[in-house]
Copies of this chain bind each other. A is one copy, B any other.
Amino acid sequence: MEITKIGEEGVIAIAQKATEVSPGVILGIGDDAAVVEIKGKLLVTTDLLVENIHFKRSYTKPEILGKKALAVNLSDIAAMGGIPRFCLVSLALPKTTEVNFVEGFYQGLKSMAKEYGVTLIGGDTTGAGSEIMVAVTVLGEALEKGVLTRSGAKPGDGVYVSGYLGDSAAGLYLLLKEKLGLLPEEVEKYLISRHLEPEPRLELGQLLCREKFATSTNDLSDGLVKKLQEIARASGVEITINREKIPLSYALLTFCQQFTLKPLDLALHGGEDYELLFTVPAEKEEELFKLDLPLFKIGMVTGYDERGRVKAEDGVVLQDRGFQHF
């Protein structure tokens, strides 16, 4: 059944099933604006996902899209060390969209919202030409300790990432080029899930903020080099990374062998890994290591630099190649 059969009110009714009674929500979906209460400083972030640019319906189940649309925003809150609280979700839907799609989308969204303590409080629904568009806004609370930004890195800090890089780009490659069934099943599954089902690093972000482990953070929505540049420029520092230290999964190495690609290209420029990138002052590194978290030190802040250059261990200046969308 197509959504024109149920109309805007039908779509809103589906969305309403994805919301829950929640402390802090004074007025949820269904009036001109939502009314909520937030303690302390308010964090706000928003992301657009456009069909055929950020996802294709051919390989993205609606549940997965609902989850991912929220996850990419939660990743931004994680990078600020904050606590996500509320979300607004807007959908632009072509007339031929199936009701099943909308139901699946909100089911996925609801499961992710529940997992991370987020309540759906509003949004908008409208028609569209030929492509689905999803706009999500997430509101969160800053910790009392403050927020983590891109601008606090200092010479001497270690540079860290929270997980393997390049997997998501490999998963996207498999989906876009329809190269399925060529790799061992668990390798393929892992790479695709790394692309479609990113896990926002909220606990890690809050830990880094609360214990003052990080002087700067960024989430790896785009490629590593671009994100390193953002920190370097915002902080006015030079960052030197060691290419050999960049964490690469066994799955990525298997994938690259099969398709004759260079793992480092994907890790440096691939994007959408949604891991955290952050800098840690030298005197805090030992304490952080003792926590035995899955963290990888990939380089150092090697000096002040207004241009915010990012270098490799051999002195080569790394440039963002804009591998990603747009």
Residues of A within 8 A of B (CB): 7-8, 26-27, 30-38, 41-48, 50-54, 75-77, 79-80, 82, 86, 88, 90-92, 121-131, 133, 135, 137-140, 142, 147, 149-151, 217-219, 234, 322, 325-326
Contacts and interface: CB of A to CB of B under 8 A. Distances in A.
B130 A129 contact: yes
A96 to B, nearest CB: 14
Nearest to A131: B129
Given A50-B127, A126-B48, A130-B130, A32 B80 contact: yes
A33 B129 contact: no
A33 B79 contact: yes
Contacts of A44: 33-34, 36, 86, 88, 121-122, 137, 139
Given A44-B88, A46-B90, A53-B127, A140 B38 contact: no
A290 B50 CA distance: 51
A34 B46 CA distance: 10
Contact of A48 (B31, B124, B326): B124
Nearest to A90: B48
A128 B50 contact: yes
Summarize A's interface: helix, strand, loop or mixed.
strand
Contact of A126 (B26, B53, B86, B123): B53
A7 B326 contact: yes
A35 B80 contact: yes
20 contacts: A7-B322, A7-B326, A26-B41, A32-B45, A32-B218, A37-B41, A44-B88, A44-B139, A45-B122, A48-B92, A50-B126, A53-B126, A53-B127, A88-B137, A90-B135, A92-B133, A130-B130, A133-B133, A133-B135, A135-B135
A44 B123 CA distance: 9
B46 A326 contact: no
Contacts of A82: 33
A137 to B, nearest CB: 5
Nearest to A34: B44
Contacts of A30: 234
Contact of A46 (B7, B43, B76, B88): B88
A33 B126 contact: no
A280 B259 CA distance: 70
